[in-house]
Each structure stands twice: as structure tokens, then as C-alpha cells.
Structure 1
Amino acid sequence: APAPTPAATAAPTPTRAPAPPTPAPLPAPARAAVAPLPALTPGIGQNFDGIPVAGRMFLVKDGGAYFCTASVVSSPGRNLVLSAGHCLLGSDTQQVAFVPQYTRAKPQPYGMFPVLRDAGGHSKIWIDPRYRSQGVDRAATLDVAFAQVGPNSRGFPVEAVVGGNRLVTGAAYAQARVTLIGHPASAARPRVCVNRTTKFTSADARIPGSFLRINCTGYPGGTSGGPFLTRYDARTGTGDVVGVIGGWKTGGDKADTSYSSYFGADIRKLYEKAVAGAKAGR
């Protein structure tokens, strides 16, 4: 049987559909709160709750999990972190992520910021090509890496959330007061220490060059990449970064003395390359 014809009804008066609401922009993230550092005796490291601008770098390499330390460095894109070159060697196609102020009790207080990849699937990590080709000893003066990280799960860039340290190159090897931050792989909390730095020139022809040296107790594996900060501002939790744990013997062979490659013209060029690459998508 044919379908019944519906009874005629008056045509409704058309009404204009309301315009869809404009999505509200994400609210600006609240800047991370910075707790004061504990009272420190020069050269004596202490575990503490950390500072937002520094954190743990999580890496998967050769099927295993590895940890290093990294920190945010101010950049136009607000998306660069700084670590040691030896930490990130071999991570070009692996999973890498930065977690600011990681502690075992609060493993992601500001979220996780993954290292981005380019169209070819390679991590956006910048290491001096000579460090890659000559190795960690011969090119120990170039033990520095920058990485571009994506936003956290709320969509915020890392520097907008936790701030950033200012990269300083060309400073003196000898600094009267350096704040050293590191995240030991086996510890529940990061480590902090203050002391002066001195210039160390290697007598080992296999590891040539001059480095910053600092005596601070208790910086074992996992602290590589930790920042050497001058002019640390307790209010903002940031400072001028003049080094990272690495360089001579990838940071030293004793937990109580750490080293850094000298931040000179080569490191400035590497930073500028990272800034340009992050802006252009590498």
C-alpha cells in the first residue's frame, strides 16, 4: 500500500540559526610556583623538591629506559630544552620526553613535553656534527644538545608554563657562585648545590680541551645535562645557564666533581641553529 500522505501543516516561519559560539582561547597557564632553595653549604649537595625550569629527560634507547637531566632555555618559540650531547646521542628515532620538576612523589606536576619529530621521523635534537662524528672523548668540548619539545596535554608550550633560563656564552670559566641542579636516576628527588667553578684543562690527549669544573657532592648517573646556573633568581626560579653536566669524561668519573663543556661561540651557533630549526620545522 502506498504510504499515507501526511496532513498539510502550516509552514513554520524560518528562523536564523544562532552563530556557533567562538571557542574561548585557552587561559594562560598559571606560572609555576617556585619554592625557596634549602640552606646550602658550598660544595655540599642536597636533595630538594626541585625547580620548575629543570627536570628529567626520559629516553628509550636500544630497548631500555634511560634518564638524564634537562632544563628549559629561553627561545623565541618558547619550546627548547638544553641537555648534554652524550645524553641524546642515538635518540634520533626514539621516544624522548621532558618532565619539568619531576619527583617520585609528583611525577608530572606540569605535564610531559615530548620531543617533536620532523617529517622523516627524526627527533628534533641539535648536536654539533663534530660531536656525532668524533665521539664523546675527542669532541668532549661540544657535549651539548638542544631539543624542541611540543606542548603538554593542555596545549601550553613549556616556557610559558615553567619559565626559561637565559643562555650565556663567552662567560669566564671561573664563576664565584653557580647553582647546580641534577636529577639522579636512582633518587626520589633532584639535587641542588652551590659552589664556585674553576677552569680545568685536560692533560689527557684523548680528551682534549678546557672545561668548567665544580665540586658538589652526590651527582651520580642521571644528573648529566643538569644546568650550571649563575645569577639564580629565587623569585623566578631561573638564572643564566653557562654549562651543563657533561664534557670531560661525560661529566666526570666521580660523583663529587662535575664538569661542563665551555659555552663559547660553538654553543651559541648550535643554539641559533636550534632556534631556526624549531621555527622552520627543521
Structure 2
Amino acid sequence: MTVREPGPVSRAVAGVALAALTAAGCTTAAGPGGATPTVRSRPASAAASSPGPDAGSSPGPDSASGDSFGWSRERLRGALGRQTGVTRTAKPTVLNGLVGAVFTRNADGDHFCTASVVDSAGLNLIVTAAHCVWDPRLGQRSDLVFVPGYRDGDTPSGVWPLLAVTVDQAWKDDADPDVDVAFAVVQPQNGQQVQQVLGANRLGVDRGYRLEVKVTGYPGTSEVPITCSNTTSEQSPTQLRIDCPDWTGGTSGSPWVTDFDPDSRTGTVVGVIGGYQEGGDSPDTSYSSYFGDRVQALYDRATG
């Protein structure tokens, strides 16, 4: 069951909390007390209301969430300290080329989630969290773009609008955290598909619970990606867990990549931040829906 905080959360309050953490150089959260509301998936600007779904979309049933577009309400803990055994860097890595920020409308908007290119016959597929692109009450967002390799306002690999989005019916109906995964087709640019330009990670299914992975994502308050390397563990039979510092709003959808090959600059994506608590209720621990048969079926639908 997805854990949801009671009552609406002010975007301004969430933004202040995230900015304060960033300014302080915070790492990991320790201790359950003194929590402040935040969002793992950062919503659109506080100055603009969230746009509605596609005109042709049929809103799903009401969600238990009180968020304006299903963005998760999460908590930042007050007592902070660095974890051991975790490698984290904000420097560019060879992995980052396949990973990008998800923006509203264009690269001048807010980046509130993360996505990455995944191998497909159409050469045009990205993977992210379902809660980044589809709300059970409102349907699919129609205004999103994928900006791979985004850094400090630069869009070195182009801006790729999202077209068709595929999510599991159980997500559409009930925001089932076990299928908080989405595949999206992106629009070709200059006659080329995104995989032709960047390459792609492979999809990894039923790879188990303990895997050495790299996780790269875009915190909403940062103009550069961060990367964490650590070993995953089993949160439940349907959920993975990883401990990484500083994974605040904006990092939902960040790929968990194992078997990374520095020569091809690709690996196997075995998870994305999302799932339990829509990714996590503190910035030091993140979750992913387990990539098993249901994710394979979702991928088959997206590429069929």
C-alpha cells in the first residue's frame, strides 16, 4: 500500500525544504522525528497550476492522493548524517548520456522527474516512474519533454517530447505501487530516434534483489545530475530498496543500472525510483517496483 501523508502539501513549503537541504549540502536522513513535507517527484512551478491530461484521455477513478497531479507527498527528516558504503557524485559520468530530466513543456520549465533510454525495436523508448506521467484521477500528462544529458541549462542531446505513454491498468485504476513504472515513446528529432543518437540500456527482468547498481537522477533543485553506487536489497517480494544520500524531489524515475559497460556506455536497467511510498519518504532511502513479469508485459505492450 502506498503511504500518503494527510492533507495537501504547499508547493512553496516543499520548495523551501528542498532548497534548504541543497544549500546545506545535506546527505542522508537519520531518525524519524522532525519531518518536513516534500515531494520525491517535484511538481510544476508554484506559479502555474498543473495542466490537465490529454483532451482525449479519460480520467481514472479518484485517487486517495490529495496532490494536484498525483505527485507523492513525502518527508525530509531533520537530523542528517552521511552514510558509509555509498558512492555519490555530482560529476558527469559516462552513464549520464542516457539519463535525462523530465520537464514540463520545454527545457525552460521545471524538471520534476527523471527518465532514461531503454532498448526497443522502435529505437524511441524511455522508462520512468508511472506517477511521473499518469495520475489515476486525471490520466496522462500531455505536456512533457525528455532532456537527456541536461546540465546547467544546456540541452546537448536535444529535447524529445513524450508521445504515447504505457502504464499498467492497476496503476491507472488504483495507483498500485507494484507497477509504478511507465514506458514512453518520444518524438524523433531531425529524422533520428533517441536510441540512434544516444544508445540505450537493456531492460533487466527477474534479476533478483541484491545487485550492484548505479542510480543517476536529477534533484529538482539542481541543474546537474547526481549518481549513487550501492547494492540493492529486498524491501518486499515486489519492491527493491537502495540507500543513497540526497535523493530528493525530482529523482523519481531515475534508472537503477547494473552490468554497466564503460566501453558501450550502457548497462541493464533493473528498476526506477518509484513504487513503495512513490519512491521513498526520506532522501536517504529509495525504492523501486520489482522488475518482474508485470514489467515485462508492460514493456511488451509498449513495444508491440
**TM-score normalised per structure 2:** 0.67
Matching residue within 191, 194, 198 for 1:155: 191
Aligned residues: 213
**Which of 126-135 and 260-269 deviates more?**
126-135
* Equivalent-residue separation in structure 2 for 1:214 and 1:264 (angstroms): 18
Pairing 1:114–2:161 present: yes
| CA offsets 1:150-174 (integer angstroms, 9 cap, x no match) | 112x221100011100001111011
Pairing 1:197–2:240 present: no
For residue 151 of structure 2, what is the amino acid of its counterpart?
A: T
Matching residue within 247, 263, 273 for 1:245: 273
For residue 171 of structure 1, what is the amino acid of its counterpart?
A: R
Matching residue within 216, 229, 233 for 1:181: 216
Unaligned runs of 5+ in 2: 1-83
* Equivalent-residue separation in structure 1 for 2:145 and 2:191 (angstroms): 15
Who is 1:23 aligned against?
A: none
- 1:71-110 equivalent positions in 2, closer than 5 A: 71-90=116-135, 92-106=140-154, 108-110=155-157
Pairing 1:170–2:206 present: yes
Identity score, percent: 40
Shift of 1:79: 0.2
* Equivalent-residue separation in structure 1 for 2:110 and 2:167 (angstroms): 21
For residue 129 of structure 1, what is the amino acid of its counterpart?
A: Q
CA contact (8 A) 2:161 2:187 kept: yes
Who is 2:104 aligned against?
A: 59
* Equivalent-residue separation in structure 2 for 1:183 and 1:42 (angstroms): 22
* Equivalent-residue separation in structure 1 for 2:242 and 2:127 (angstroms): 19
| CA offsets 1:122-163 (integer angstroms, 9 cap, x no match) | xx100101111112xxx11100000000112x2211000111
Shift of 1:93: 4.9
For residue 214 of structure 1, what is the amino acid of its counterpart?
A: I
Matching residue within 156, 160, 165 for 1:125: 165
* Equivalent-residue separation in structure 1 for 2:268 and 2:199 (angstroms): 12
Q: How well do the aligned residues superpose, as a CA RMSD in angstroms?
A: 1.7
CA contact (8 A) 1:59 1:96 kept: yes
Pairing 1:142–2:179 present: yes
Who is 2:86 aligned against?
A: 43
Q: Name which one, 1 or 2, has greater alpha-carbon Rg.
A: 1
For residue 202 of structure 2, what is the amino acid of its counterpart?
A: R
* Equivalent-residue separation in structure 2 for 1:87 and 1:129 (angstroms): 16
CA contact (8 A) 2:134 2:141 kept: no
Who is 1:35 aligned against?
A: none
* Equivalent-residue separation in structure 2 for 1:261 and 1:99 (angstroms): 24
Shift of 1:244: 0.2
* Equivalent-residue separation in structure 2 for 1:46 and 1:143 (angstroms): 26
Structure 1 residues 43 and 236: alpha-carbon distance in aligned structure 2, compared to 1, 3 A threshold: same
**TM-score normalised per structure 1:** 0.72
For residue 155 of structure 1, what is the amino acid of its counterpart?
A: G
Shift of 1:42: 4.0
* Equivalent-residue separation in structure 2 for 1:257 and 1:92 (angstroms): 28
Shift of 1:105: 4.6
Structure 1 residues 214 and 93: alpha-carbon distance in aligned structure 2, compared to 1, 3 A threshold: closer
* Equivalent-residue separation in structure 2 for 1:184 and 1:268 (angstroms): 28
Shift of 1:59: 2.9
Regions of 4+ moved over 6 Å = none
* Equivalent-residue separation in structure 1 for 2:238 and 2:169 (angstroms): 19
Unaligned runs of 5+ in 1: 1-40, 117-123, 202-208, 277-282
